[in-house]
């Protein structure tokens, strides 16, 4: 059974697509919506990998066709909290309110998530250290496993105050801080924001964060509006970020193998 919300979403989606179809040409500043992008052959060809600068291509790692809006919908990304806990900075990302429950606009979520995945893949390809952060105990095992699988780092325990800001003292020697923080949940408790959001901004570390309707998206560099409480949606985010990181790393390994 196709539920009513799907119907509206999909009708909205098709309408958008028909308007945007002529715009689906390669230009860097164009908006990318629900449809996956056409592949460009040269990027997948290993022979001329060295000739292309990854940054010159709008979607070098093919992150735009990694998921569809239907996938997001099936993973329940569109569910927000109730109106009472709304952070006013989250208003532009919302589709509406259904009997007091806020619903995200998945077209916007998809666009922002693709941007974030692209950034992740680029940082991974440049040998960046990526740190997954989630305080929520329900998802900490999943997050840690994801980090392990893509050979990156995770922090899912209590956050000590100096972990970023006083790292040399905290770890006993000069420490390399991560180059990118991915927050699967930006909240520390029901009302408090995770301290690492502030501290990453202080240390000039870019952040990617899943922001629910009760979170503050201002200090997150690449906020992704979406449900951060459901296990299925967290699973989807983890899968996507892992894939993006693996693609970045694969490109780096190919380049290294070619230079040998």
Partner 1 sequence: MAQSRTDRIGTIFSRMTALVRADVIHPNNLPLWYEVYKTFPPKYEPKYNRKPPTTEIQNIFYQEDLIRAKFQNDISIPIIDMKSDDVTKTQIFYTLYECLLQGGVEKEEAYEKAMISYKSIFKTYESKKSHKSTKQNEP
Binding residues for partner 1 (CB under 8 A): 1, 4-5, 8, 28, 55, 83, 86, 88-89, 91-92, 94-98, 102-103, 111-112, 115, 118-119, 122-123, 126-128, 165, 179-180, 198-199, 201-206, 217-223
Smallest gap from residue 210 Cβ to partner 1 (A): 15
Task: Report in angstroms how near the CB of residue 256 gets to partner 1 at its nearest.
Answer: 16
Contact status, residue 110 vs residue 206, Cβ threshold 8 Å: no
Q: Which is nearer to partner 1, 144 or 195 (CB)?
A: 195
The Cα 217–Cα 201 span in angstroms is 12
Closest approach of Cβ 11 to partner 1, in Å?
A: 12
Q: Rounded to an integer, what distance in angstroms lies between the CA atom of residue 61 and that of residue 35? A: 16
Nearer CB in complex with partner 1: 122/135: 122
Output the smallest distance, CB 126 to partner 1, in A.
5
Rounded CA-CA distance 72/37 in Å is 17
Nearer to partner 1, 102 or 210 (CB): 102
Closer residue to partner 1 (CB): 14 or 89: 89
Give the DSSP H or E segment for 146: helix 137-149
**Nearest to partner 1 of 206, 226 (CB atom):** 206
* Beta strand pairing call for 94-98 and 101-104: antiparallel
Structure tokens at 259: 């230079």
Closer to partner 1 by CB, 140 or 208: give it. Answer: 208
Q: How far apart are CA 201 and CA 186, in angstroms?
A: 13
Least gap, CB of 102 to partner 1 (angstroms): 7
Q: Is-contact 196 135, C-beta < 8 A?
A: no
Give the residues across from 26 on adjacent strands: none
- CA distances in angstroms from 43 to 53, 57, 61, 249, listed in the order given: 10, 9, 8, 15
Burial of 56 (0-12, 13-18, 19+ CB in 10 A): exposed
Least separation in angstroms between CB 55 and partner 1: 5
């Amino acid at each position: 059974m196709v539920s009513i919300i799907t119907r509206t979403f999909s009708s909205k989606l098709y309408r958008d697509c028909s308007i945007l179809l002529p715009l689906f040409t390669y230009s860097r500043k164009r908006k990318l919506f629900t449809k996956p992008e056409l592949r460009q052959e040269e990027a997948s060809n290993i022979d001329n990998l060295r000739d292309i600068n990854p940054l010159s291509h709008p979607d070098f790692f093919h992150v735009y066709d990694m998921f569809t809006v239907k996938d997001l919908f099936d993973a329940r990304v569109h569910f927000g909290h109730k109106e009472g806990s709304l952070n006013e900075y989250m208003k532009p990302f919302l589709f509406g309110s259904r009997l007091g429950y806020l619903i995200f606009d998945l077209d916007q979520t998809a666009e922002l998530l693709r941007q974030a995945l692209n950034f992740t893949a680029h940082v991974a390809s440049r040998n960046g250290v990526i740190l997954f952060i989630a305080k929520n105990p329900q998802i900490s095992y999943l997050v840690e496993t994801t980090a392990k699988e893509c050979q990156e780092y995770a922090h899912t325990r209590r956050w000590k105050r100096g972990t970023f800001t006083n790292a040399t003292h905290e770890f006993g020697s000069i420490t390399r801080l991560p180059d990118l923080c991915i927050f699967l949940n930006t909240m520390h408790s029901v009302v408090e924001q995770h301290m690492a959001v502030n501290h990453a901004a202080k240390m000039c570390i870019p952040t990617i964060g899943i922001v629910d309707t009760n979170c503050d998206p201002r200090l997150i560099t690449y906020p992704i509006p979406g449900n951060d409480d459901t296990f299925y949606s967290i699973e989807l985010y983890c899968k996507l970020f892992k894939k993006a990181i693996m693609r970045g790393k694969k490109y780096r390994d190919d380049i290294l193998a070619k230079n040998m």
